[in-house]
Every structure is written in structure tokens, then in C-alpha cells.
Structure 1
Amino acid sequence: MTKVCIYGAGAIGGLMAAALSEAGADVSLVARGPHLAAIQDKGMILRKDGQETTYKIKASDNPADLGQQDYVIVTLKAHSVPAIVDQFTPLLGPETAIVPAVNGLPWWYFYKADTGTVLDDNPLETVDPGAAQWKAFGPQRAIGCVVYPAADVPEPGVIEHKYGNRFSLGEPDGSQSERLERLSNLFIKGGLKAPRKGRLRDELWIKLWGNCSFNPVSALTGASLDQIGANAACTDVVRRMMLECKAVGEAVGARFAVDVERRIEGGTEIIGHKPSTRQDVEKGRPMELDALTSTVLELARKLDIPTPTLDAVAALVRMQGSVLGLYQHNEALESLIFKR
């Protein structure tokens, strides 16, 4: 039986855990606090399609309780992982794959990327300070994942599915490996869509296109996506941010299968939805900024690509996070991404 540990049993982690349990995998969760206590006491409850299902899944706040795994799926926010890499050690055997199911550009992005730039086979400082994950895990363990579903944790121990069921997967080198196929098949057997992509990085950029623009604009204004789309001035800001992001992505080999206007339409047609970064503000949670904005600026600085609109909005949203106590200011990072 395939052993899968989900490190971070929040909304997306819980949704994955339910699907993998349905597929017959040996699933375990690393969680904490009231959420962990509820799962240990009554099981994890998934509300989906008007139905409620309880899953009895082994859960702990101590990875040593769970043992070595075939796959470790990381569903924590990207900025929280580098400081705790040592906690993953009990989960890792010689062949354990690590699947970062995170927003933004992942720490392994330039492993076997073959972009022809100075970035190849080097870590991203903005999401992996000091190459903590690159060194502790090793990029050869990584399987890429692009997360599309939306879910929430309305109360401890309960996962509420909102929409979407696709998790695109891919090897950093674009190959169709046995470990990739096995994980994809488990997701599919559990009722999810899990296409295996030879060019997963293209999908990472399409999603990041929205994250780096809509997220900070919503965080600053409090507007939902449709409200942003209904305001011509705000839409113009988003458009300029996307065009700058596209220039950076194309410089490292990304292909954008849709144009800017279609991407904006696809985002703003979602009525009443506020991106995760605005939800962080409203709920007083640490803001996920570096994976969504700073990564693009890091690449832009290293490749000498101008990004004036991204620079301005990123500076404002980082100040917002600092003032609210939801983002930790880092002088070294500031000098890296705002260097001229």
C-alpha cells in the first residue's frame, strides 16, 4: 500500500487526504492545534456536493509518529517551510518524493529547467532562503503540483469543498516517471483530476499570472475579483502587472497559452470571491507574499527586466503586511528584489 503523508492538513491538504483515502492509500496527516484534536477525536469530515463524509485518518503534530513515506505532500504556505525542514526528516526514506502543493513558483523551479539563463539549477532565494529546502530535501525528490480547487476549514476537523477538482502534476524534467504515474492514478482513483504534464512550468506561470496581480490588488483594496474587473482603472493596473509578469516568464522559457485579456476575464468572472491574500488580511493570518510577488521580482532583477507596476504594488502590499503585523520585513530580501 502506498504511504502518503500530507504535511499541513488544512483545506487543500484535507481535500487531498480524503481523495487519497478513497483511493486506498495509507494516508497520514501532520496537523496541529484544535484542528488536529478534532481529527484525532472524531475523524476528518469532508463536506462536498451536499454530502458529509468522515475519514478516520492517522494524524499527529509529530512527524516521527508517522514513519517513512512514499510521498510527502506539502500543503503549508510556501514561506513557512524553510524554517522547519528538519521536521520532515522522519518522513523521508531513500526514495520518498516530495510534492509541494503551494502557490507561486516552487523552490525546485530551476532544477533541470534548461532555460539557458544563470538561474538554471539554482534555488530561489525569495521562497527558499539560504537554499534550506534545496539542501535538506534535494530537488531530485520534487514532483510539481498546480492546485486549482478551492476549499475552506469552517471549523476544526471539517473541510468544506468549494469548487474545482484538478491537481496538475509533473516532473521537473518533464519526464513521465513511474512515481508520477502512480501518484496521478491515486488522485484519479480518489475522484480528482490529475493530468501528468510534460510542461508543468507553463501552468505554474498561468496561475501565478493571477496570483501576482489580483491577489495584491485585492489585499490592498478589499475588492472581490468581479469588483476589480468592473473597475477600469484597477483592471488596467492588473493588466500592466500581468504583462510585466509575462515578460519575466517568457524570459525563462514559459509559454502562455492564453492572452492577457482572456486571463483577466477568467479571473473577474468569479462573483464575490476574494483571493487568499485578502482572506489572510481579513482573518489576521500571515500574508503569503513572497511566493506570489517576490519570486517574479527576484527573477526580473537577475535578468534585468523592468517591472515598474509590479514593483510599486509589491512595495505597497508588503508595507500593508508589515503595518498589520502579518508580514515580516526582511532587509536582505528587500535589497534583492528592489535593487536598481
Structure 2
Amino acid sequence: MKLCVFGAGAIGGLMAAKLAAKGDAEVTVIARGPHLAAMQAKGLTLRSEGQESVVPVRAVGSAEEAGPQDYVVVTLKAHSLPGAAKQMQPLLGPETAVVSAVNGIPWWYFHKLAGPHEGHRVESVDPGGVVSELLPPERAIGCIVYPAAEVPEPGVIEHTYGDRFTLGEPDGTRTPRIAALSEALIAAGFKAPVRPKIRDEIWVKLWGNMAFNPISALTTATLDVVIADDGQRGVARAMMLEGQEVAQKLGVRFAIDVDKRIAGAAEVGAHKTSMLQDLERGRPMEIDALLGVVVELAELVGVEVPTCRTVLALVRARGRAAGCY
């Protein structure tokens, strides 16, 4: 199995390190700058469960150097994907699968989704259709990321918690390609269940991100503070209920209720959401992939989402003022 992680930051680096350490897959990581230089010089250092190991990896700076792969794992943020999709083309052979480990609603969401919207393009994450043209949806395997990790210094991955990557084909079948990927991830020490209804899990994760991320960017509060404050929690809950109505119109079924989802988020504690971290560091925020897309899909299915619209307008303004949108 030839597997490439495109944009090997924290999550991609974690996956690459464990797969490479197992040795069953030929793993290549594509990175840049000091992170790439450190991996080329010393390998990839993984700190996990109180232990530190150094894993030799093939680290390159371009897709041309990597060549065609069996699997390309994409762990970029959604707004980076239109630009990156063109760079990824040398990785794609006739049967290459693109593993979409990206937060939010993916560009392939309506591919093989039976119903009136099958094949619909999601503008918020696929502007002008550029992503679906370069990365055809039939290549896509869904992947929901649950681990948390960071890059404290170049060439080093610090894994803080979680070990599950849930997988799913857009049509819900268990294909040979997804079975092989699941087996490789499990052999490397991850949980990698294959789910027939991957979109249900996409929404459960998005359910929290669509609300807590923009609210924290507006208030600069950590997750525990957002949930403990009646006002902020009330806004988040209203947004989540609006999002739930949109998802249910698209055939999604939620295994838990909104209050249980909020309680689960509260257990994470004093966590800075990714959107708040991006704001503080002056980086582009995932506004459209996490909230803009919900408003877009609400229009598609005819659901009113006034709280989401209000927060979206505010967080976009906050992002523009900070140069992050």
C-alpha cells in the first residue's frame, strides 16, 4: 500500500508516524518549510502516551517527488483545498482514493446521496466546482478525525488524546479499498470503524463546531467558559437546533440529543477552539466550512436559521477585521 499524507501537520503527522512505524505501508508525507527540513534530517518525532519515538519517514516538498499513490490523505483545512487540489494532481493514479479528513461538510457530500439533491455542489467548500473537478467525488473516502495533536516544534508531533478515525464510503458500502485502509489504520494502533452512514457522524462532529467555534472567536472564550455562561450556551444551543433541522431534512439521524452533545463538549474543558486559535495567530478561519455551509444548506432545504445567520455575519466581520477571512 502506497499512502501519502498531503499537508502533514499535526493530525496528518500523527497518522503518518504510526503507519510508518508499523511498516506495512509505504508512507510519504508532503510538507514544507522548517517542518519538512526537520523530518528530512531527523525523521518524525512522535510524543504519545508518555513516550517519545522517532520514526523514519519519506518526507518530500511536492507531489511530483512523491508520485502516484494508492491513498492520498488530506488533512488540510477546507479553505486550503481549492488551491491544494491542483498541486495534488501528480499523486493521482487511475485508482487513487482521496481520504477526506477535513472538518465540516466535505465537497463530496451529495455524491451518491439518494434523494432530490444527489450530485448537488456545495459552494461554500467547492467554490466554482474547482475541488470536485480536480478531485472527483468518486475518489473520495470520508474520514472523521477525533484525535487531538499539535506540532510544538518542527518535526515533532505531540498527540494529546483520541485514537479514532471513522471511515465511510459516500454510498455507504464496504468496498475493498476502504476495508484495506481500515485494516492498515487498525494495525497501526488506531480505531478505524467503517460506517454505512458516514454523514450522520459528520453532522454530530459539525454540530458542536458550527456553534462553539464562531462563538469562541467572537468572545475569545475557551470552550468551558462558553458552555458555563448561560448566554453563550443559549446561543450555541439555538444554533445547534437550527443545524439539526437542516441535517434532518437531508436525511441525517442524530444518535444523541443536543444537550448530550453539549455535555460531551463540556468534558473537553478549557480548550481553545481551532477558530479562536486561528484568529489569535492571524490565520484564515474555517468560517464557511463550519457555519457558512450550514446556512447554504438551510437555503437548499428551506429551513429558517436566524441565529446561525446572525452569528455568521458577526464572525465574518470579526474575521475580516483581523485579516483572517
Partner of 1:137: 135
TM (norm. structure 1) is: 0.94
Residues paired across the two proteins, number:
324
Q: Which amino acid aligns with 2:189?
A: G
Alpha-carbon distance between aligned partners in 2 of 1:96 and 1:105, rounded to the nearest angstrom: 22
Residue number among 297, 307, 310 corresponding to 1:309 in the alignment: 307
Alpha-carbon distance between aligned partners in 1 of 2:151 and 2:184, rounded to the nearest angstrom: 24
Task: Classify the secondary structure of the residue corresponding to 1:175.
Answer: coil
* Runs of 5+ unmatched residues, structure 2: none
Partner of 1:160: 158
Alpha-carbon distance between aligned partners in 1 of 2:321 and 2:136, rounded to the nearest angstrom: 36
Q: Which amino acid aligns with 1:211?
A: N
Partner of 1:62: 62
* Runs of 5+ unmatched residues, structure 1: 328-340
The question of whether the paired residues in 2 share the 8 Å contact of 1:22 and 1:189 is answered with no
Alpha-carbon distance between aligned partners in 1 of 2:291 and 2:200, rounded to the nearest angstrom: 17
2:148 maps to 1:150: yes
* Alpha-carbon distance, 1:224 to partner: 1.2
The question of whether the paired residues in 2 share the 8 Å contact of 1:71 and 1:98 is answered with yes
Query: 1:151-300 to 2 correspondence within 5 Å?
Result: 151-300=149-298
Partner of 1:16: 15
Partner of 1:337: none
Alpha-carbon distance between aligned partners in 1 of 2:275 and 2:79, rounded to the nearest angstrom: 13
TM (norm. structure 2) is: 0.98
Alpha-carbon distance between aligned partners in 1 of 2:177 and 2:200, rounded to the nearest angstrom: 21
Alpha-carbon distance between aligned partners in 2 of 1:286 and 1:61, rounded to the nearest angstrom: 22
Q: Which amino acid aligns with 1:220?
A: L
* Alpha-carbon distance, 1:269 to partner: 2.2
**What are the superposed Cα offsets for residues 8-49 of structure 1, whole Å, 9 maximum, x if unpaired?**
110000011012113321000110111111111111111101
Alpha-carbon distance between aligned partners in 1 of 2:166 and 2:297, rounded to the nearest angstrom: 24
Task: Classify the secondary structure of the residue corresponding to 2:28.
Answer: strand
Q: Which amino acid aligns with 1:21?
A: A
**What are the superposed Cα offsets for residues 299-333 of structure 1, whole Å, 9 maximum, x if unpaired?**
11122210000001111111111100011xxxxxx
**What are the superposed Cα offsets for residues 252-297 of structure 1, whole Å, 9 maximum, x if unpaired?**
0100000011001111222111111111112222111111011111
2:91 maps to 1:97: no
Alpha-carbon distance between aligned partners in 1 of 2:180 and 2:131, rounded to the nearest angstrom: 24
Identical residues among aligned pairs (%): 54
Query: 1:68-147 to 2 correspondence within 5 Å?
Result: 68-114=68-114, 116-117=115-116, 119-147=117-145
Alpha-carbon distance between aligned partners in 2 of 1:19 and 1:110, rounded to the nearest angstrom: 32
Task: Classify the secondary structure of the residue corresponding to 1:96.
Answer: strand
Alpha-carbon distance between aligned partners in 2 of 1:86 and 1:234, rounded to the nearest angstrom: 40
More displaced stretch, 240-249 vs 75-84: 75-84
The question of whether the paired residues in 1 share the 8 Å contact of 2:21 and 2:55 is answered with no
- Stretches of 4+ moved more than 3 A in 1? none
